[in-house]
């Protein structure tokens, strides 16, 4: 989890959700595309999962399978 109230990291990674705003009064002005990324010990991204909708996140079992396949755990 990452707190990014100014959307600095969201923009650096290019995951700003262009279609949806939070709509929460006083809340964040932008939402990221829900993204799960796996990186190896060298920082190389080996797997990425992005949701089609801001309401869904990566299923834990799906991520565990990706960890086992991508990182050999």
Question: Mind listing the pLDDT tens digit for each residue in 60-70?
Answer: 998 899 888 88
Whether 42 and 20 have beta carbons less than 8 Å apart is answered as no
Stretches where the chain sits below pLDDT 70 are 20-25, 27-28, 73
Whether 66 and 39 have beta carbons less than 8 Å apart is answered as no
pLDDT given for residue 73 in this prediction: 57
pTM of the model: 0.70
pLDDT given for residue 32 in this prediction: 84
Whether 32 and 12 have beta carbons less than 8 Å apart is answered as no
């Amino acid at each position: 989890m990452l707190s990014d109230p100014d959307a600095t990291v969201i923009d650096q990674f290019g995951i700003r959700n262009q279609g949806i705003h939070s709509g929460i009064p006083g809340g964040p002005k932008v939402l990221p595309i829900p993204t799960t990324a796996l990186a190896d010990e060298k920082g190389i991204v080996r797997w990425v999962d992005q949701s089609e909708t801001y309401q869904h996140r990566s299923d834990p079992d799906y991520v565990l399978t990706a960890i086992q396949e991508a990182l050999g755990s």
